[in-house]
Structure 1
Amino acid sequence: MESNFTNDHNYKYQKAKDKVEAIKGFYGNLLAYCIVIPILAYINYNTTSFPWAIFPALGWGFGVIMNGLYAFGYNPLFGKKWEERKIKEYMQES
């Protein structure tokens, strides 16, 4: 009985730790985006009339959005119910 409780506790702890790491990574990515993109826009504004800074802003911005969706557990394509159903399915196969 103790072993089962310990395994469950370790699993929950690891899952919570992974979630915190994902959120921490998201905020780091967001902070870097908010620092680098304005610098690129400033360089772009002062060097050429072609708005090339929009490309990294859009590309990286999409990445930041996807990272945030993952970190906070929102997945419009494969929701939580789908994930739990698949986990149960694969556990039954074993």
Structure 2
Amino acid sequence: MHDPSGQLERRARRRAGMKLGWYIHAAVYVLVNCFLAMVSAASGGHWAVFPALGWGLGLAIHGVVVFIAAGGGGLQDRLVERERRKLRASEEPW
């Protein structure tokens, strides 16, 4: 069935954007925390673990929102697509 209003396309783009945002967040997290770990080690300390843990918690929460709470999880996507196919098949005229 065709989506004349484009709502499906908008939802797909929004969810893809949310996932891309999380991937960017994760990449920045890794890069910054590697840099902080090097600075911490060079100064003879182990303080870099604290920003890594705090920011890691934020990254984990962001991931939960994107991939689970907002319906971006792979399992849910597959189940929704399966139901969508069934509904479309039942609407087709014979």
Match of residue 54 from structure 2 = 59
User: Map of 1:1-94 to 2, 5 A cutoff?
Assistant: 5-7=3-5, 10-49=6-45, 51-72=46-67, 74-75=68-69
Per-residue CA deviation, residues 6-62 of structure 1 (Å, 9 max, x unaligned), is 22xx1111111110000001111111111110110110111143x221121011111
Q: Report the AA paired with residue 38 of structure 2.
A: Y
TM-score (normalised: structure 1): 0.64
Secondary structure at the aligned position of 1:52 is classed as: coil
Show structure 1 runs of 4+ deviating over 3 A. none
The percent of aligned pairs where both chains have the same amino acid is: 28
Q: CA RMSD in A?
A: 2.0
Structure 2 portions without partners, runs of 5+: 70-75, 77-94
TM-score (normalised: structure 2): 0.64
Give the length in aligned residue pairs.
69
Match of residue 86 from structure 1 = none
Q: Report the AA paired with residue 66 of structure 2.
A: A
| Counterpart-to-counterpart distance in 2, 1:70 and 1:13 | 21
